[in-house]
Structure 1
Amino acid sequence: MVLTLNDLGEQNCAVFKDLMPKSTLTHHLKILREAGVTKLRIDGTQHFYSIRMEELEQLFPGLMGIVLNVKPELIE
């Protein structure tokens, strides 16, 4: 999810709908938001998520570069 948000920028949560059940998606988005990794923007009934890249880089210099450069085969 973080890699997708990094690649595509701010996205509606619908972009992830085919990855997992809605309840799982909601849970993961909540965890990322509460951990301070993502931020939420609400526009009417739509929820848009993006990475808090500047804030994370200030708090943990270099961490997001490492996270975003993980090889997909290492994730599975």
Structure 2
Amino acid sequence: MTTAAPAGRTLAHPARDEIRLEAVLHALADPMRLRVVRELAGCGGELSCSQIELPVTKSTTTHHFRVLRESGVLRQSYRGTAKLNGLRRDDLDALFPGLLQRILDAADRQSDRLGEAGGGAARR
């Protein structure tokens, strides 16, 4: 596992060659985690955990971010007191070409079909 260690805090992330398809698909199968990924894809950069509002408890939100980080879908790093999140799009695209974008596109189509807010947010 590789780690990021700004300000003395470390968060474990899998190295690119440790990312497993099953873990990525499991992480993206949950609606709350997919919502996080769609928001990150829509912003095109990094967001703090507090900028992504989920209709669940704080401990459940923390769990979702941990699953996404440990599966290799996102990278988390501390900047001051904020924990920033960014998609590991380059790593995922190198390992599973087109997978992330196809999932984001499908999520957009589903959101549009169901009339949910945030449709189209995941497009590049």
Shorter-chain TM-score: what band? 0.7 to 0.9
**Kept in 2: contact 1:16–1:25 (CA 8 A):** no
Deviations 1:20-47 (Å, cap 9, x if unpaired)? 2101100000000000000012112110
Give unpaired runs (5+ residues) of structure 2.
1-35, 115-124
Written as runs of structure 1 = structure 2, the 5 A alignment for 1:1-76 is 1-8=36-43, 9-70=45-106, 71-72=110-111, 73=114
1:18 Cα offset (Å): 4.5
4+ residue runs over 2 A deviation: 16-19
Percentage identity across paired residues of the two chains:
36
TM-score (norm 1): 0.88
Larger Rg: 2
Assess if the C-alpha contact under 8 Å between 1:5 and 1:11 holds in 2: yes
CA deviation map 1:7-27 (0-9, x unaligned): 012100001245321011000
Write the distance in 2 (CA, Å) between the matches of 1:34 and 1:10: 17
5+ unaligned residues in a row in structure 1: which ranges?
none
Could you tell me which amino acid in structure 1 is paired with residue 65 of structure 2? Answer: L
SS of 1:40's equivalent in the other structure is strand
Q: TM-score, normalised by structure 2?
A: 0.55
